[in-house]
Amino acid sequence: MGYKVSIVGISGAVGQKMLELLEVSPIKVDSLRLFASNKSLGKKFPFRGKKYKVEQFDETMDDDIVFFAISAKFAIEFAKKIIGKVGKIIDNSNGHRMMLDIPLVVPSINGKIIKKKDKIIANPNCSTIEMVLFLDPIYEAYGLKKIIITTLQAVSGSGLRAVSALYDETRDFIENRSVKNKFYPHPIAFNVVPFIGHILGNDYSDEEIKMTNETKKIFGDKKIDIFATTLRVPTFYSHFETIFLESKLPIDIEKLKKEIERDPLLRLLDDKKNYNFPMPISSAGTDIVDVGRMRYGKNKKELFSVISADNLRVGAATNAVRIAEYIVDKHLI
């Protein structure tokens, strides 16, 4: 049986990546509809040998699977209009993630929480997804007490306008022209912006709070202490993260490395001899999380590591399509 599928927000970086990944997905698509803002109406995108024209959002849609690659505000608004008419909405925005009755899902970790009655499934934050994919085997085998994470996030996490801004600012710098910020509050070319999103009353940014709350919800464990610092850096694609964790039980690093090598969603890059470690340049364009530089702290319950993953794929579109594949495989539509 085939499915009726739509993508709302096809003109953005994540929406286009969803379409690209859906192209090679085993999901049988009988019909496809693409939606975007008025400025993209009529534009065509190829999919499995055909071209599909971008349409204006239609509240009468009755698709089986609807991908949202839009802002939180519009996601909440649109979901209310179509929730009784469609099968499943997979929302990549922050709009539904922390709602109590909506599952926040990374399929390989907690896909089992999805029920047939669930109409909306939330896709976690990009930096959260890659982190929990790495932490999951540690959590399962050793437990987790504390996580301290610093993210170095690529500009594509802010969309295509931010990518263009980095191009333009870099060109201006190289050509000895005045570099003015074209997207972020400060220039991003050859710079590090020490926050992502808005700074809240507790002095953490909303991006940092997202990582904390989402990780606890995905693992179903409110007792983990999580402290995040999120930075924007002048790379185009792939987020890089440094992680310190404290486990409940002593960690066997060599055993953990073997577990990572067996995990199809992770790739161990820990070659000290050739200095081959996770980097944005190696993880970009892949659907796995690179893991490396694992080392103990003061004892075997403390572990340091670095990871990197493509934020548009692993951190957004890949996980969204994996959610769709999971609900199709488990007959949850």
| Catalytic residue ranges | 126, 239
- What whole-number distance in Å separates Cα of residue 332 and Cα of residue 89? 12
Task: Determine whether 113 is exposed, middle or buried from the number of CB atoms within 10 Å of its CB (0-12, 13-18, 19+).
Answer: middle
